[in-house]
Amino acid sequence: MRSTGIIVEYNPFHNGHLYHFNQSKESSKADVVIAVMSGNFLQRGEPAIVSKWARTKMALLSGIDLVVELPYKFAVQQAEIFALGSVYLLDALGCQSFCFGSESGKIDTFTRTIDILQKNHHQYNENIKKYMQSGISYPSALSKSFKELGLGEEYLDLSQPNNILGYQYVKARNHLHSKMEALTISRKNANYHDEDFSSSTIASATAIRKAIFDENDTLKIQQYVPIATFNELSNYKQVFGILHEWERYWPYLQYKLLTSSHEEIAECYEVEEGIEFRLIREAEKAVSFQDFMEKVKTKRYTWTRIQRMCVHILTNTKKTEMKNEHRYPEYIRLLGMSANGRNYLNEMKKSISLPIISKLSAFQNEAVQLDIKAAKVYSLALKEPKRKHLLNLEFAQPPIQIGKREA
């Protein structure tokens, strides 16, 4: 069976994701589509709007064949590490190709850009240092440094968020010496950070979440998501009483900041250059997470980078836990599969070298402790007994199966 991989968060699964799935399957001529999906907390430092189980079900009911979890250690990370962990898992699962959305839509621009940056790496890195010393953010420094090389339009625009991720995916593939073919498709209609509905059928996940939380209008998103997504969002809110957002975790983050020393906060992953003093100082004044972020954000520290810091502080994730000898994922956490996906696993299981976790309670490994800790913190948004119910799923929930009666 021929398989292709996609790297996703599905926060939530929307019509743009459905387009990406269909185009990935068509362009790769794959029989099976495998999704590596972030778990409870996401790459931009946010809690997922609903649990990984609900998002897995959205994906499976929309056509994805296999969903595996990207561990916390790689999910809540800068683009390079996020990409390395994701591509490694797709390669371990035997994918012949992987496909990502981009503003470019042309895979040649990615390979040309990687080649030219390797040839000009010294000048490129010097440019980055120069711009970083001027006080701008790392992503802005990357973009300006690349433009300063004066390479022309045939190369990649590294100021665009999906181009940046795609660049890191292809770079990770090359680093791993993987034989997977890299494919890309153009993003359709909505841009990554668009907050408004500019199309009749496709909107960004950002715009969809904004309508849900800011406008309190779930019905407004109905035309932008598959029916499976709409039903799962409605069902999750009915069962658990909420949808997850940062404000529900603000009291816990504020408590952590106000009861910890500067030295303790500085031990948390991604807290650098003395920013712990600013975090603690502004936590005393802030009345909400939004207020806190607006007070803390600077030209040098992007909103996304600060949010990731906040997730690591919230989960008490130390630098020593994230920077160890294990550069790659050590296991495959299976979240769900279709009948087609199940057949693929049966066909491939002898050639997959990583242990496959079907049920966490049956797996003993120190590497999953960060995932367990993240699940515990994620459940804090709920009240008992719903909190306990959600947390129990982390250990007791078998992979969701579509096309077969669920266990």
Helices (H) and strands (E) in the chain, counts: 19, 8
Peptide bond preceding 226 in cis form (omega within 30 of 0): no
Q: How confident is the model at residue 155 (pLDDT cuts 50, 70, 90)?
A: confident
Q: Mean pLDDT, to the nearest integer, of 20-37?
A: 96
Q: What is the dihedral of CA 295, 297, 299, 305, to 10 degrees?
A: 170
- The pLDDT assigned to 112 comes to 87
Known binding-site residue numbers: 7-20, 101, 162, 187
Category of 152 on φ-ψ map: left (φ > 0), alpha (ψ -120 to 50) or beta: left
Residue 230 structure tokens: 């709409």
Mean pLDDT, range 44-53, rounded to an integer: 97
pLDDT for position 363: 81
Q: What percent of the chain has pLDDT over 70?
A: 93
Q: What letter does residue 271 receive in the DSSP assignment?
A: -
CA distances from 341 to 1, 35, 335, 388 (A): 10, 11, 12, 30
Are 236 and 50 spatial neighbours (Cβ–Cβ below 8 Å)? yes
**150 compared with 158, residue with greater pLDDT:** 158
pLDDT at 193 over 60: no
CATH number of 3-103+185-244+327-402: 3.40.50.620
* pLDDT beyond 90 at 332: yes
- Is the torsion defined by CA of 288, 291, 294, 297 positive or negative? negative
The C-alpha angle with vertex 325 and arms to 316 and 350, in degrees rounded to 5, equals 105
- Where are the chain's structural domains? 3-103+185-244+327-402, 249-322
Q: What is the DSSP letter of 224?
A: G
Side-chain-side CA neighbours of 45 within 13 Å: the count stands at 19
pLDDT for 168 beyond 80: yes
Q: How confident is the model at residue 50 (pLDDT cuts 50, 70, 90)?
A: very high
- Average pLDDT, stretch 93-107? 94
- Per-residue pLDDT at 55: 97
pLDDT in tens, 274-293: 999 999 999 999 999 999 99
In angstroms, rounded to a whole number, what is the distance separating the alpha carbons of residues 207 and 214?
10
Mean pLDDT of 352-368: 86
Least confident range from 61-75, 125-139, 281-295: namely: 125-139
233-260 confidence digits (pLDDT tens) = 999 999 999 999 999 999 999 999 999 9
Q: Please report, in range form, the residues annotated as the binding site for ATP.
A: 7-20, 101, 162, 187
Mean pLDDT of 138-154: 73
pLDDT score of 152 more than 70: no
Mean pLDDT, the chain, integer: 90
Q: What are phi and psi of 279, to 5 degrees?
A: -60, -45
Answer whether 42's CB lies under 8 Å from 48's CB: yes
pLDDT score, position 59: 97
- Long-range CB pairs of 305-309 (<8 Å, 24+ gap) are 305/45, 305/78, 305/137, 305/138, 305/270, 306/45, 307/44, 307/45, 307/46, 307/246, 308/44, 308/45, 308/76, 308/77, 308/78, 308/270, 309/45, 309/268, 309/269, 309/270, 309/271, 309/275, 309/279
Looking at residue 406, its pLDDT comes to: 41
Q: Mean of the pLDDT values across residues 217-242? A: 91
pLDDT at 407 over 50: no
Using CA atoms, how far apart are residues 40 and 299, in angstroms rounded to an integer?
Answer: 28
What number is the average pLDDT over the span 109-136?
83
Look at residues 27, 17, 32, 59 and name the one whose alpha carbon lies nearest to residue 401: 59
* Predicted TM-score of the model (pTM): 0.92
- Residue 325: is its pLDDT beyond 60? no
Lowest-confidence segment of 12-26, 138-152, 173-187, 243-257 by average pLDDT: 138-152
Residue 68 has what pLDDT? 98
Q: Find the helix or strand (DSSP H, E) in which 170 lies.
A: helix 161-175
> What are the C-alpha distances in Å from 132 to residues 30, 113, 115, 369?
43, 21, 24, 34
Output the pLDDT for position 365: 77
- The pLDDT of residue 349: 86
Q: What whole-number distance in Å separates Cα of residue 229 and Cα of residue 56?
A: 10
**Rg of the chain's alpha carbons, rounded to an integer?**
21
Dihedral sign for Cα atoms in the order 315, 296, 257, 289: negative
Report residue 215's pLDDT band, with 50, 70 and 90 as the boundaries.
low
Q: Which amino acid is at 64?
A: I
Structure confidence at residue 177 (pLDDT)? 96
pLDDT score at 217: 67
**DSSP H helices in 189-226:** 205-213
Q: Helix %, strand %, coil % for the chain, to 5?
A: 55, 10, 35
Q: Tell me which of 363 and 240 has the higher pLDDT.
A: 240
| Higher-confidence position of 129 and 101 | 101
Nearest to 190 by CA among 199, 181, 179, 177: 199
Higher-scoring residue by pLDDT: 154, 381: 381
* pLDDT at 285 (0 to 100): 96
